[in-house]
């Protein structure tokens, strides 16, 4: 691969990640453009699931909306990346917001400020996210929200 190909790949990865961050920051309409209809999600979910139920465009919209229902002012930003390797793109992100309620057994009061981190791995096909691996520091988030405490 020559430098021109690498630059194009990096530019495409950056453009996709910019839209990915927009999605996670609440622009649900962009999901129709960047999420493949057969998108698969791999994640440890709050309900104990593995993410396989979060498929396709509507599943991603619902997943993002669920996170925003817990923290309506949730803002994601990229700390590292994007790092592109063939058809995969990786980003390290940070999310900040204020807890809005809704997590059973959370001891933190509504309005508690939270910050948590994670890493997303995206498999890209045809300029869309075809597969998504989420590795978030849920333990840190749940600790800040005092889930199970008290």
Sign for the pseudo-dihedral over CA of 141, 20, 92, 113: negative
Contact 22, 39 (CB under 8 A): no
Please give the domain boundaries of the chain with CATH numbers for all domains.
Answer: 3-144 (3.10.450.50)
pLDDT tens, residue by residue, 6-40: 334 788 899 999 999 999 999 999 999 999 999 99
How confident is the prediction for the chain on average, in pLDDT?
88
C-beta atoms surrounding 63 within 10 Å: 22
pLDDT tens, residue by residue, 101-131: 888 888 999 999 999 999 999 999 989 999 9
Q: Which residue has the higher pLDDT, 14 or 52?
A: 14
Contact 12, 20 (CB under 8 A): no
- For a pLDDT cut of 90, what percent of the chain falls above it? 67
Asked whether residue 46 carries a pLDDT value surpassing 70, the answer given is no
């Amino acid at each position: 691969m020559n430098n021109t190909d690498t630059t194009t790949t990096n530019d495409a990865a950056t453009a996709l990640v910019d839209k990915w961050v927009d999605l996670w920051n609440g622009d649900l309409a962009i999901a129709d453009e960047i999420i493949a209809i057969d998108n698969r999600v791999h994640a440890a979910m709050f309900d104990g699931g593995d993410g396989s139920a979060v498929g396709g465009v509507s599943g991603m919209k619902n997943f993002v909306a669920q996170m925003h229902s817990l923290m309506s002012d949730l803002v994601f930003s990229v700390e590292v990346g994007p790092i592109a390797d063939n058809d995969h793109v990786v980003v390290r992100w940070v999310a900040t917001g204020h807890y809005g309620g809704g997590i059973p057994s959370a001891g933190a009061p509504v309005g508690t400020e939270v910050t948590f981190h994670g890493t997303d791995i995206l498999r890209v096909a045809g300029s869309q996210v075809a597969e998504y691996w989420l590795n978030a520091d849920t333990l840190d988030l749940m600790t800040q929200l005092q889930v199970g405490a008290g």
